[in-house]
């Protein structure tokens, strides 16, 4: 696994040499994560792919534009790229002006189930995942974003705080409230 030091070295090479290989390594590391983050917000593969590409293109352009200005350099690539992804999703919805978007593909298609699971266990897990996916879509954007970053992307509270530019305490409270709201949504779905 790459360390933060490796990432800092890549950023150094990126700024010093405008090294596309360094950017390629950062892309390889973060593109799947950004795609997954965006996908859970827009729910269509085409839009998620387009927005992910847009995020990395903007990142490359930013680096090229500010390579000679130390004050504008990216210090925390992960926080920077997630902030750009969040803004890209906001811009996307602002342009579309739609209240909701129907998913082309299910999140379930992206999850591989262990081979050793019985057929009954796989069906039960798939059903539970479908319920959670529907419940997530019923949450406020802020809550959905917190839960995706915490439980799907696996980020620690302090990392989420950097990405969202919030205090750690506010993130902890937000996650607690988001989980409560998710439980309520799941109960609504199961009681239908």
Do residues 95 and 167 both lie within one domain? no
**Band of pLDDT at residue 102, cut at 50, 70 and 90:** very low
Do residues 31 and 54 both lie within one domain? yes
Query: Which pair of tokens denotes residue 158?
Result: 């302090």
Which of 41, 73, 105 corresponds to the end of one domain?
105
Do residues 97 and 13 both lie within one domain? yes
Task: Please give the pLDDT value at position 107.
Answer: 45
Task: Please give the pLDDT value at position 133.
Answer: 80
Do residues 8 and 92 both lie within one domain? yes
Domains held by the chain: number: 2
Task: Please give the pLDDT value at position 174.
Answer: 92
Which of 59, 89, 105 corresponds to the end of one domain?
105
Do residues 119 and 181 both lie within one domain? yes
Residues 78-82: contacts with CB within 8 Å, 24+ apart? 78/7, 78/30, 78/159, 78/162, 78/163, 79/159, 79/162, 79/163, 81/30, 81/34, 81/55, 81/56, 82/34, 82/37, 82/149, 82/163
User: Across residues 23-37, what is the average pLDDT?
Assistant: 91
> 123-182: per-residue pLDDT in tens?
666 667 777 888 888 889 889 889 888 888 888 899 888 888 899 999 999 999 998 998
The CATH number linked to 146 is: 1.10.10.10
Alpha helices in 138-167 (DSSP H): 141-147, 157-164
């Amino acid at each position: 696994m790459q360390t933060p030091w490796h990432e800092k070295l890549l950023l150094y090479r990126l700024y010093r040499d405008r090294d596309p290989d360094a950017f390629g390594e950062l892309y390889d590391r973060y593109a799947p994560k950004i795609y997954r983050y965006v996908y859970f917000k827009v729910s269509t593969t085409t839009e998620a792919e387009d927005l992910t590409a847009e995020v990395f293109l903007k990142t490359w352009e930013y680096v090229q534009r500010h390579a000679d200005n130390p004050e504008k350099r990216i210090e925390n690539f992960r926080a920077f790229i997630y902030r750009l992804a969040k803004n890209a999703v906001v811009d996307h919805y602002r342009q579309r002006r739609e209240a909701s978007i129907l998913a082309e593909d299910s999140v379930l298609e992206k999850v591989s189930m262990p081979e050793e699971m019985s057929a009954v266990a796989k069906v039960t897990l798939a059903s539970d995942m479908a319920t959670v996916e529907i419940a997530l879509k019923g949450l406020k954007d802020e809550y959905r974003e917190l839960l995706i970053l915490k439980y799907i992307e696996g980020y620690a509270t302090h990392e989420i705080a950097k990405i969202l530019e919030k205090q750690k305490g506010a993130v902890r409270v937000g996650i607690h409230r988001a989980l409560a709201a998710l439980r309520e949504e799941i109960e609504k779905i199961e009681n239908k």
